[in-house]
Amino acid sequence: MTEGYVTIGEAARHSGLSVDTVRFYDREGLLGALPRNRAGRRLFDAGALGLLDVLVALRRTGMPIESVREFSRHARSGNDSTRAARLALLRSHGERVRADLRQLQTDLELIEWKVAAYTAAENGEDPPPRKDV
């Protein structure tokens, strides 16, 4: 293997993605032009792995693939003139993620109350009062 590079299998393990998903990211051009070894296999350097980490986090937090493409295109340009566009995408997405977290917290509290209510019923006790009512 070439010094400083890892294979697609290692990149997949690093990112927690399947090899097929990493290939998809590559085919979509999200990782830029990856070098290949003599056998034609993709090679990932620290920069590609770092970008992959960011793209995975964006997707895992619900960023649409079109926005991921836009972020990736700006990030790979290496041009400071795209910093404002990247920052705007990240700020907007961060606001959506925070809203999702607030909703998930509310939903989790309801689930925990239902568990407590069912547990109390199984034990012949009155259910606990809901905090939000």
Tokens describing residue 93: 């997405």
- 129 within a domain of the structure (yes/no): no
pTM: 0.82
Please give the Cα distance from 84 to 67 (Å, whole number). Answer: 15
Give the CATH number of the domain where residue 117 resides. 1.10.1660.10
pLDDT along the chain (133 residues), means of 10: 87 96 94 92 94 97 95 88 92 98 96 96 91 67
- 96 within a domain of the structure (yes/no): yes
Give the per-residue pLDDT at 1. Answer: 53
- 20 within a domain of the structure (yes/no): yes
| Residue 108 exposure: Cα atoms within 13 Å on the Cβ side | 6
Which structural domain range is residue 76 located in? 8-122
Task: Please state whether 78 falls in left (phi above 0), alpha (psi between -120 and 50) or beta.
Answer: left
Cross-strand pairs, 36: 42
Which residues does 87 contact at the CB level (< 8 Å), separation at least 6?
none
Question: Domain total for the chain?
Answer: 1
- 3 within a domain of the structure (yes/no): no
Please give the Cα distance from 25 to 113 (Å, whole number). Answer: 41
The radius of gyration of the chain from alpha carbons, rounded to an integer in Å, stands at 22
Please give the Cα distance from 77 to 70 (Å, whole number). Answer: 11
